[in-house]
């Protein structure tokens, strides 16, 4: 059963019990990704690491180490 089938089943059950229908699959995906990013940045601040530019900094260190 995929997400669409589950959504249709949940919608049918909600209609049978006169309850509001559940949100469509994927409705809150962007909000979840933003929350995960914010949590990762918060954890970085608590650990004393920079919150942005970490990938670029790691690549720069890696390239410098390879050039020596």
Displacement of CA 22 from its chain's centroid (Å): 20
The tokens describing 7, both together, are 């959504």
The residue segments making up the domain with residue 52 are 3-67
Spatial separation of the C-alpha atoms in residues 37 and 52, rounded to whole Å = 11
Does the predicted model carry a pTM greater than 0.85? no
- Spacing of C-alpha 25 from chain mean position: 14
Per residue in 4-43, pLDDT (tens digit) is 999 999 999 999 999 999 998 889 999 999 999 999 999 9
Residue 67 has pLDDT above 80, yes or no: no
**CB of 3 closer than 8 Å to CB of 25:** yes
CA distance 33 to 58: 23
Q: pLDDT category, 68, cuts 50, 70, 90?
A: low
**How many domains does the chain fold into?**
1
The pLDDT value recorded for residue 59 is 87
């Amino acid at each position: 059963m995929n997400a669409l089938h589950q959504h249709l089943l949940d919608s049918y059950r909600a209609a049978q019990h006169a309850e509001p229908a559940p949100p469509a699959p994927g409705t809150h995906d962007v909000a979840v990704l933003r929350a995960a990013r914010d949590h990762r940045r918060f954890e970085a601040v608590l650990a004393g690491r920079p919150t942005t530019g970490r990938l670029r900094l790691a690549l720069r260190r890696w390239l410098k180490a390879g050039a020596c």
